[in-house]
Chains A and B, each alone.
Chain A
Amino acid sequence: MTGVRVLVGTRKGAFVLTSDGQRKNWKVDGPHFAGWEIYHVAGSPADPDRLYASQCSGWFGQVIQRSDNGGQSWQPVGNRFEYDGVPGTHQWYDGTPHPWEFARVWHLEPALTDPDTVYAGVEDAALFRSTDGGQEWQELPGLRGHDSGSSWQPGAGGMCLHTIMQDPDNAERLYAAISAAGVFRTDDSGASWKPINKGLRSEGIPDEDAEVGHCVHRVAMHPSRPNVLFMQKHWDVMRSDDAGESWREISGDLPTDFGFPITVHAHEPETVYVVPITSDSHHFPPEGKLRVYRSRAGGGEWQPLTKGLPQENCYVNVLRDAMAVDHLDSCGVYFGTTGGQVYASADSGDTWSAVVRDLPPVLSVEVQTLS
């Protein structure tokens, strides 16, 4: 039987939502790790029963949990994230040097082919990897050690490494995105990295087209075309057709090009989804209407998707890691809100319904397609 498992991280625990291929009736399981912030829960593409969760707390720090049975039970694994060598400094909000300090794991990205290998994007921005199922973590220091590293500066939410993407056609190529440094790419398995931000323009920094300093909110790709990248920047929705070497704006007719998440349809590489948010000072949808926008042209022309979504008095936000798609024949699209709703569409976004409405604020949504 085919089905989906939606992994939801919230401010106060993790929830697992499951359904069959129809995606009409849902089972809600949780909260797991009640009371803790769950920044991200992710499943291994190589073994859907292998899950990883980032559990953290302002009081008690970082814990990594692992499940080997699809979330039925969990075990804490390693939580020592120690920067390689002498960490040095990055730039603080006031421009002064600030020591690199580990705060939390924002994003976990299990490897495409090995369930025991998983990447972790952390705050203060760095990339770690475990090859033993999360027991031990080693930094890939080439990223933070890039010449520009000491000039990186945190965004309002902290200096987080929030996006990790693996090129399915090239095992040595990885992408990482950092707020507010930008996007970086390695072509040698993480030994060295280059900023790939040409074409991004950010009014909030003195040099609008600087190599680094851009507040990238999220980057997405379709696995069939790993050289095509889509980006939701602080402002602007962007696209690259050359693995990030250059970017062009595809905001087109969006009502606002500020937002956080961006994702790509499972079967249509030119179909892209964003959730426009009014502005960086108004973190809620324009006009109080929650609308997902879909482009079937790879950007530029966008269609509002509203059926089943609140079209009045809605002032929630959708965070960067809180939208995902499944891989069933009729592609499902999912997103969670800061108001605790998780919405699902089983028809590529044409119609929506709330799976749950009253969870804690949703930080992340991932989907596993089960066979």
Chain B
Amino acid sequence: MTSEVESALPSTQAGPASCSGPAPVGANAEPVAIRVVLPAHLRNLAGINGELQVDVNNPPTMRSALDALEAAYPVLRGTVRDQTTQRRRAFVRFFACEQDLSHSPPDEPLPPAVVAGKEPLLIVGAMAGG
């Protein structure tokens, strides 16, 4: 019965094993390379193809990842989060490891699999518009 309940959980809650557990690096370690996938419009704006990689200060969080992304690609400032309030734009979502991180506190550590470079951080344009 327990296994049935667990298997019925949405993947966003369960998540793959590699996405749980403590972060693999300490707070004072060197910056880590984070893989990021942007939506097509922002890839065009930044002039990149496919996935990109940014060096993120430790400990990697959503805030530090976006800081690194905007430092590497200044044209993305204001397109993912508001430049003044730093709030995520309403129709932008953050996914990783089959989890929706959009509502996670910005200073919460990113999933270990993202920090380890096994999984990308997905920045997604929300499906909207009818």
Contact of A329 with B by CB under 8 A: no
Contact of B92 with A by CB under 8 A: yes
CA distance A138 to B44 in the complex (A): 27
Are B126 and A79 in contact, CB atoms less than 8 angstroms apart? no
Chain A nearest CB: distance from B76 CB in Å?
9
Are A57 and B41 in contact, CB atoms less than 8 angstroms apart? yes
Contact of B78 with A by CB under 8 A: yes
Instruction: Give every chain A residue within 8 A of B25 (Cβ-Cβ).
Output: none
Instruction: Give every chain B residue within 8 A of A80 (Cβ-Cβ).
Output: 77-78, 83-84
Neighbour of A59 across the interface among B75, B78, B92, CB < 8 A:
B92
Are B75 and A60 in contact, CB atoms less than 8 angstroms apart? no
Known pairs A61-B78, A63-B75, A76-B75; A82 contacts B83 (CB<8 A): yes
Contact of A368 with B by CB under 8 A: no
Instruction: Give every chain A residue within 8 A of B77 (Cβ-Cβ).
Output: 79-80
CA distance A34 to B45 in the complex (A): 10
Main SS of the interface on chain B?
Answer: loop
Are B84 and A82 in contact, CB atoms less than 8 angstroms apart? yes
Chain B nearest CB: distance from A54 CB in Å?
13
Known pairs A58-B128, A76-B75; A63 contacts B45 (CB<8 A): yes
Instruction: Give every chain A residue within 8 A of B79 (Cβ-Cβ).
Output: 60-61, 63
Q: B61-95 interface mask toward A, CB cutoff 8 Å, 1 = contact, 0 = none? A: 00000000000000101111011100001011000
Are A59 and B126 in contact, CB atoms less than 8 angstroms apart? yes
Contact of A62 with B by CB under 8 A: yes
Chain B interface, number of residues (Cβ within 8 angstroms)? 20
Instruction: Give every chain B residue within 8 A of A82 (Cβ-Cβ).
Output: 83-84
CA distance A139 to B128 in the complex (A): 32
Contact of B52 with A by CB under 8 A: no
Known pairs A60-B79, A62-B78, A79-B77; A36 contacts B41 (CB<8 A): yes
Instruction: Give every chain A residue within 8 A of B75 (Cβ-Cβ).
Output: 63, 76
Q: A170-203 interface mask toward B, CB cutoff 8 Å, 1 = contact, 0 = none? A: 0000000000000000000000000000000000
Are B92 and A60 in contact, CB atoms less than 8 angstroms apart? yes
CA distance A82 to B83 in the complex (A): 9
* Residue among A34, A35, A36, A63 with most chain B CB within 10 A: A63
Contact of B42 with A by CB under 8 A: yes
Chain B nearest CB: distance from A153 CB in Å?
23
Neighbour of B78 across the interface among A35, A36, A58, A79, CB < 8 A:
A79
Are B83 and A58 in contact, CB atoms less than 8 angstroms apart? no
CA distance A275 to B2 in the complex (A): 69
CA distance A82 to B80 in the complex (A): 16
For B92, give the chain A residue with the smallest CB separation: A59
Interface residues of A in 57-77 (CB under 8 A from B): 57-63, 76
For B125, give the chain A residue with the smallest CB separation: A59
Q: What are 27 A-B contacts defined by CB distance under 8 Å?
A: A34-B44, A35-B41, A57-B41, A58-B91, A58-B128, A58-B129, A59-B39, A59-B41, A59-B91, A59-B125, A59-B126, A59-B128, A60-B39, A60-B42, A60-B79, A60-B92, A60-B125, A61-B89, A63-B45, A63-B75, A76-B75, A79-B77, A79-B78, A80-B77, A80-B78, A80-B84, A82-B83
Q: Which residues of A contact B (CB under 8 A)?
A: 34-36, 57-63, 76, 79-80, 82
Known: A80-B84, A82-B84. 4 other contacts (CB 8 A): A59-B39, A60-B41, A60-B79, A76-B75
The 10 closest A-B pairs by CB, nearest first: A60-B79, A59-B91, A76-B75, A59-B125, A79-B78, A80-B83, A61-B78, A61-B79, A82-B84, A35-B41
